[in-house]
Structure 1
Amino acid sequence: MKKLGYLFFAVSINLTLAACADQTKEENEVRTTSADESDWSYEELTGPEYWDELDPGNLACANGSEQSPINVELPQVKAEKKLNENEIYYEPTEFTVENNGHTIQANATTDSNLLVIEGNEYKLLQFHFHTPSEHQFNSQNFDMELHLVHSDKNGNLAVLGIMIQNGKKNELLAGMWNELPKEESIKDISEKYLIDLKALLPKNQTSYEYEGSLTTPPCTEEVKWMVFEQPIEMSRAQIQAFQKIIPHNRRPVQPINEREIIKNKE
């Protein structure tokens, strides 16, 4: 009887271990499937916490020392310089619009919009939106944030960040906003929208400049950031129209570490 008891106990242990192994295997398969897809999102196992695990090219998302976005604590910003060291040359331009699954993005059709930083020219490639804002001022988010992404001839990137708050209807974006693509779309959409980016910028162009990264995978660093202090406005209806399509696409703020934030004053 004692031998039978030991045999029963051994069989029970083996069955339990086998069940645990199957469960672990199943959990690993779920995780591996997400990672093998090399896709990313803002939710659960493909969200910001796991971006570095989804693709070897995303390691900077976890290991980088100059990541974006950041929280700008205004009392701690000490360095200042005159705004005229940077110049923005924008004009009314046609853009195509797409839903890339992560945001609504407007793609430039010309090279006429330029950002000049310390004599170096960066051409506007595209602009897109996040909700709520990715950058913070004194730990506070805005309703949305606009990113204007530029590149110089060597592929170095510079991004303008503009906060968006609830207010009056933004007529400059109304045409594009009336036809926001609700589903993920293919590129090179034929419809074009004329947008006056110069008029879209805040009247007060005081900004905060720092060395950062892309806020989406692969989180590439050595990106020059200029984040405007004054927000622009969009109506509650416009903000909600975007949020119905893209409910949430904000990366959490990242450690500033030893970086310096420079205030560009008018």
Structure 2
Amino acid sequence: MKKQILSVVLGSLVSSMAAAAQWGYEGAEGPSHWAEMSSEFDTCATGKNQSPINLTHMVKGDLPALKINYVKGGQQIVNNGHTVQVNYTPGSSLEVDGHKYELKQFHFHTPSENNIEGESFPMEAHFVHADKDGNLAVVAVMFKIGDFNPELEKAWSQMPVIAGDQQQLKHVVSAANLLPQDHNYMRFNGSLTTPPCTEGVSWFVMKGYDTASKEQIEHFAHTMHHNNNRPLQAMNARVVVQ
């Protein structure tokens, strides 16, 4: 199952998941219907630790530092119809509390999927990692409208406008340059925010944020033709630690 989930994370919707259901963000294909489309998507409705959430009522804890070792590795940009994703070459890692994950890809949602104290943001980036056993960790970074983002533009300048298209990037993108300087974070247990909504994902939401120009955020939104954020999910018995 973890190999199947990793295939979804990497953007290659393989096996029965692709054939079973063409999910989306609107109408009969939207989030409220995901669980109806395939038995493999049941967790989208039955799960108790679903993402995204509104991060609020945080509990103070002694969180370990995030050891982020990202090298330039964003070499391919893909429009998979659900998001724009930059695939990363091996060699970049996230280590937390002695546990090491490899950066696989990063992608975007507009508006943000997670909220912080009830605040939604114009755009959110998800840096998706997997360990050697297929366990997943996501670093989430909120984007505000502000200064033009030159690192983001390396990808945006070749953004495929047609679902299914991909491009080899002329200028390799550095994920490190898309992170805020302050690596303080909030942590919670959650899930994939897209089908099959698998749980057991470790989420690390940065307290700091990055910026992009209004035009850059609109470029992404227009390419998607619709919002691509899953609605907020119930917290249930979870806590957010900061």
TM-score by length of 2: 0.88
By how many angstroms is 1:48 displaced?
0.4
Measured against aligned partners, the alpha-carbon deviations of 1:85-106 in whole angstroms (never above 9, x if no partner) come to x311112224200100000000
Q: Which residue of 2 aligns with 1:66?
A: 49
Q: Which has the higher helix share?
A: 1
* Residue segments in structure 1 that go unaligned for 5+ positions in a row: 1-35
Aligned to 1:230: 208
Give, as a single letter, the amino acid of the residue that structure 2 aligns with 1:151: A
Of 104, 108, 116, the residue aligned with 2:88 is 108
Q: 1:71 offset after TM fit, Å? A: 0.1
Q: Is the 8 A contact 1:65 1:257 kept in 2?
A: yes
Q: How many residues align?
A: 223
Describe the SS at the equivalent of 1:134. Answer: coil
| 1:192 shift after superposition | 4.9
Residues of 2 paired with 1:212 and 1:100: CA distance? Answer: 23
Deviation at 1:117, TM superposition (A): 2.0
Shift of 1:260: 1.9
User: 2:63 aligned with 1:92, yes or no?
Assistant: no
Percent identity between matched residues is 38
- 1:110-125 equivalences under 5 Å are 111-125=90-104
CA contact (8 A) 1:96 1:193 kept: no
CA distance in 2, matches of 1:191, 1:46: 31
Query: Quick one: which of 177, 184, 196 aligns to 1:218?
Result: 196
**Contact conserved, 2:24 with 2:31, CA < 8 A, in 1?**
yes
Instruction: Map 1:1-266 onto structure 2 (within 5 A).
Output: 38-73=21-56, 76-84=57-65, 86-109=66-89, 111-186=90-165, 189-246=167-224, 247-263=226-242
Displaced runs of 4 or more, over 2 A: 189-193
User: What is the CA–CA distance in structure 2 between the aligned matches of 1:152 and 1:192, rounded to whole Å?
Assistant: 29
Matched position secondary structure for 1:252: coil
Task: Kindly provide the amino acid, as one letter, of the partner of residue 92 in structure 1.
Answer: K
CA distance in 1, matches of 2:130, 2:165: 23
User: How far is the alpha carbon of 1:195 from its aligned partner?
Assistant: 1.4
Gaps of 5+ in 2: 1-18
TM-score normalised by the chain length of structure 1: 0.80
Are the aligned partners of 1:83 and 1:206 in contact in 2 as well (CA < 8 Å)?
no
How far the C-alpha of 1:83 sits from its partner, in A, is 4.0
Q: Structure 2: which amino acid aligns with 1:170?
A: N
After TM superposition, the structure 1 stretch with the greater mean CA deviation from structure 2, 127-136 or 240-249, is: 240-249
Q: Is the 8 A contact 2:139 2:206 kept in 1?
A: yes
Larger C-alpha radius of gyration, 1 or 2? 1
Distance 1:192 1:153, change over 3 A: farther
For 2:140 and 2:241, the matched residues in 1 are separated by 15
1:262 aligned counterpart, secondary structure: coil
* 1:49-108 deviation digits (Å, cap 9, x = unpaired): 0100111100000000000000011xx112322442x31111222420010000000011
Q: Say which is worse superposed, 216-225 or 119-128, in terms of deviation.
A: 119-128
Q: Which amino acid aligns with 2:75?
A: F
- SS of 1:129's equivalent? strand
The answer to whether the 8 A contact 2:75-2:168 is kept is no
CA contact (8 A) 1:94 1:192 kept: no
Asked if structure 1 preserves the Cα contact closer than 8 Å seen for 2:86 and 2:106, the reply is yes
